[in-house]
Structure 1
Amino acid sequence: MKSISSPPAVSPRPALHAEKHRGPAALADSALELARLVLVHGPVSRGELAKELKLSVASLTRLSKPLLDAGLLVEGELVADGTVGRPVRLLDVRSDSAWFVGVKVGGDLLTAVLTDLRATILAQATLPLADTSTHTVVEGIAQLTEQLGAHNDVVVTGVGVSLGGQVRPNGVVHRAPFLDWNDVPLGALLATRLELPVVVDNDVTALVAAEQWFGAGREVADFAVITVGAGVGYGLAIRNHVIRTADTGLGLGGHFPLDPTGPMCMDGHRGCSTAMLSIPSICLQISVALGRQVNYEQALELAEEGNRVAVAVLEAAAKALGVLIAAAANLAMVNTIVLGGEGLALFTSRKATVVAALAAGRDPEAEAVTLRVASDDFTEWARGAAAVAIQAQAFIL
Structure 2
Amino acid sequence: MTALAASWLPLSPGERAVAIEVLVHGPLSRTELARRLGLSAGSLTRLTKPLIESGLLVESAEGAALPEVRQGRPSQPLDIVAESCAFLGFKITDDMVYGVVTTLRGEIVTRLDRPLTTHDPERVADLLAGMAAELARTHPALAGIGIGVGGFVRRRAVVGESPFLSWRDVPLAELVEERTGLPVVVENDVAALVEAETWFGAGRGLDRFVVLTIGAGIGYGLVLGGRRVAHAEEDRGFGRHWIVDPAGPLTPDGRRGSAVSLLSIPSIRYQVRAATGREVTYEEILAGAADGEPMCARVVGEAGRALGTLLAQIANFVMPQRILLAGEGVGLMEVAGEAVDEAVRAHRHPLAAPVPLETKVSDFHDWARGAAVLAIQVLVLGTVEP
Global fold match (TM > 0.5) = yes
Q: Secondary structure at the match of 1:216?
A: coil
Compared CA separation, residues 218 and 166, structure 1 to 2 (3 A): same
Give yes or no for the alignment of 1:325 onto 2:311. Answer: yes
2:367 to 381, 393, 396: 381
Alignment match, 1:149: 136
Give yes or no for the alignment of 1:293 onto 2:284. Answer: no
Q: Distance in 2 between matches of 1:249 and 1:364?
A: 34
**Within-5 A mapping of 1:161-310:** 161-245=147-231, 248-310=234-296
Q: Secondary structure at the match of 1:178?
A: coil
Q: In terms of mean alpha carbon deviation, does 250-259 or 155-164 score higher?
A: 250-259
1:66 to 50, 54, 60: 50
Alignment deviations for residues 149-195 of structure 1 (CA, whole Å, 9 cap, x no partner): 21x34321110000011111250111111111111111111112110
Q: Secondary structure at the match of 1:235?
A: strand
Q: Secondary structure at the match of 2:114?
A: strand
Structure 1 unmatched runs, 5+: 1-16
Q: Distance in 1 between matches of 2:333 and 2:14?
A: 42
**Within-5 A mapping of 1:120-135:** 120-135=107-122
CA deviation after TM superposition for structure 1 residue 304, in Å: 2.1
Q: Distance in 2 between matches of 1:104 and 1:197?
A: 17
Q: Secondary structure at the match of 1:87?
A: strand
Q: Secondary structure at the match of 2:206?
A: coil
**Within-5 A mapping of 1:331-350:** 331-350=317-336
Alignment deviations for residues 198-237 of structure 1 (CA, whole Å, 9 cap, x no partner): 1111000101000110012224121111111111111111
Give yes or no for the alignment of 1:30 onto 2:14. Answer: yes
- The aligned amino acid for 1:90 is P
Given that residues 86 and 139 in structure 2 are in contact (C-alpha distance below 8 angstroms), is that contact kept between their aligned partners in structure 1?
no
CA deviation after TM superposition for structure 1 residue 395, in Å: 6.7
CA deviation after TM superposition for structure 1 residue 81, in Å: 2.6
Compared CA separation, residues 118 and 28, structure 1 to 2 (3 A): same
Compared CA separation, residues 87 and 352, structure 1 to 2 (3 A): farther
Compared CA separation, residues 86 and 351, structure 1 to 2 (3 A): farther
CA deviation after TM superposition for structure 1 residue 23, in Å: 11
Alignment match, 1:370: 356
CA deviation after TM superposition for structure 1 residue 52, in Å: 1.1
Q: Secondary structure at the match of 1:217?
A: coil
- The aligned amino acid for 1:69 is E
CA deviation after TM superposition for structure 1 residue 240, in Å: 1.1
Q: Distance in 2 between matches of 1:139 and 1:147?
A: 12
Structure 2 unmatched runs, 5+: none
Question: Percentage identity across aligned positions?
Answer: 42
Q: In terms of mean alpha carbon deviation, does 220-229 or 347-356 score higher?
A: 347-356
Compared CA separation, residues 43 and 24, structure 1 to 2 (3 A): closer
Q: Distance in 1 between matches of 2:232 and 2:295?
A: 40
Compared CA separation, residues 93 and 139, structure 1 to 2 (3 A): same
Compared CA separation, residues 47 and 113, structure 1 to 2 (3 A): same
Q: Distance in 2 between matches of 1:169 and 1:56?
A: 38
CA deviation after TM superposition for structure 1 residue 33, in Å: 1.4
Compared CA separation, residues 363 and 54, structure 1 to 2 (3 A): same
CA deviation after TM superposition for structure 1 residue 139, in Å: 1.1
RMSD (Å), alpha carbons: 2.1
CA deviation after TM superposition for structure 1 residue 49, in Å: 0.8
Q: In terms of mean alpha carbon deviation, does 238-247 or 373-382 score higher?
A: 238-247
- Relative contact order: is structure 1 or structure 2 higher (C-alpha 8 Å, sep ≥ 6)? 1
Compared CA separation, residues 315 and 334, structure 1 to 2 (3 A): same
How many residue pairs are counted as aligned between the two chains? 375
Query: Under a length normalisation based on structure 1, what TM-score does the superposition of the two structures give?
Result: 0.90
CA deviation after TM superposition for structure 1 residue 388, in Å: 0.9
